[in-house]
Amino acid sequence: NAGVTQTPKFRVLKTGQSMTLLCAQDMNHEYMYWYRQDPGMGLRLIHYSVGEGTTAKGEVPDGYNVSRLKKQNFLLGLESAAPSQTSVYFCASNTGTGYFQPQHFGDGTRLSIL
């Protein structure tokens, strides 16, 4: 079972460049989340979606945009990359059927902005 798949796994960008990170899940989950992970700061929620066609801001949304045109995909965009966006990005999904349901994670995208 693939679960949650993130592409690409690694990327190096120059300041000002744009890119899109793709998250795909094959579990028919309703809810999807984008996090960034920085040393000593745990996981911080960037944006999330509670269903196809919906998106909402999380804790640190500035500089990012998202789209959920298909239920299985959740895209995270950086319009103009900045060095402060150097991080490891994780996508997660959840059935959306209860507070006891865990989130399922991809393996992450390691992004460096020079």
Partner 1 sequence: AQSVTQLGSHVSVSEGALVLLRCNYSSSVPPYLFWYVQYPNQGLQLLLKYTTGATLVKGINGFEAEFKKSETSFHLTKPSAHMSDAAEYFCAVSDPRDSNYQLIWGAGTKLIIKP
Q: Which residues bind partner 1 (CB under 8 A)?
A: 4, 31, 33, 40-45, 48, 50, 56, 58, 90, 92, 94, 96, 98-108
Q: Give the nearer residue to partner 1 in terms of CB position, either 49 or 85.
A: 49
Question: C-alpha dihedral over 15, 80, 86, 58, to 10 degrees?
Answer: 170
Rg (CA), the chain: 13
Q: Give the nearer residue to partner 1 in terms of CB position, either 10 or 62.
A: 10
Q: Give the nearer residue to partner 1 in terms of CB position, either 17 or 95.
A: 95
Contact 32, 91 (CB under 8 A): yes
